[in-house]
Chain A
Amino acid sequence: GAGVSQSPSNKVTEKGKDVELRCDPISGHTALYWYRQSLGQGLEFLIYFQGNSAPDKSGLPSDRFSAERTGGSVSTLTIQRTQQEDSAVYLCASSSPGGAGANVLTFGAGSRLTVL
């Protein structure tokens, strides 16, 4: 697609429920990233995909968080047994494999998660 698409844009859930957040990167972008932005905070790296592999999962805050990517395209971030501290905007970004676009992350609009 023309840009990075994320869904849902807003999600309100109850503590203890599982949630899935979806990211559809720009077509042809092999690298995909998930970040988290809490209220008034900077952007916290969660996980990086190159194709379908995740060579860097160092930012996932706990084993309740997982992510996968299929077909080198769409990615899903899953949060199990959500807690109130998981409330944040989850941002997805993608970048092209080389050239002028290398390392330039294009971000989606984000998925705002509120855990009650």
Chain B
Amino acid sequence: AQKVTQAQTEISVVEKEDVTLDCVYETRDTTYYLFWYKQPPSGELVFLIRRNSFDEQNEISGRYSWNFQKSTSSFNFTITASQVVDSAVYFCALSEAPASNTGKLIFGQGTTLQVKP
């Protein structure tokens, strides 16, 4: 069965610190997608990134970077020089192989990040 584990329930940092949010997943599929979503206090989930299991290249987008390691089934998310506006709940998610493609996402429990000024 598919499963996503975000072991960190809450993280608190001071502005400008770097912070890494951990995500470990389980799947029997050989192809799959991994995602990160952000849920700010307003409540609406915002898509951040999708990564295909074939592509293990790390990705950087501004202050955000993602480290995908298939060998350890991890897809960690790092925010560099955190800002107060980064305060949110962050969800890691997994979807099944594109070929069967219901597109259903299995979410982790989320990590609440608080960035203090």
Contacts and interface: CB of A to CB of B under 8 A. Distances in A.
Given A104-B47, A107-B44, A33 B104 contact: yes
Given A89-B43, A104-B47, A106-B47, A56 B98 contact: no
Contacts of A95: 103
Interface of A is mostly: strand
Interface of B: 33, 35, 37, 42-45, 47, 50, 91, 93, 95, 98, 101-110
Contacts of B104: 33, 45, 48, 56
A48 to B, nearest CB: 5
Interface of A: 31, 33, 35, 41-43, 45, 48, 50, 55-56, 89, 91, 93, 95, 102-110
B102 A55 contact: yes
Contact of A104 (B50, B91, B109): B50
Nearest to A3: B44
Contacts of A55: 102
Given A45-B105, A56-B104, A103 B44 contact: no
Which 5 A-B pairs give the minimum distances between C-beta atoms?
Answer: A107-B45, A43-B107, A42-B109, A103-B103, A42-B107
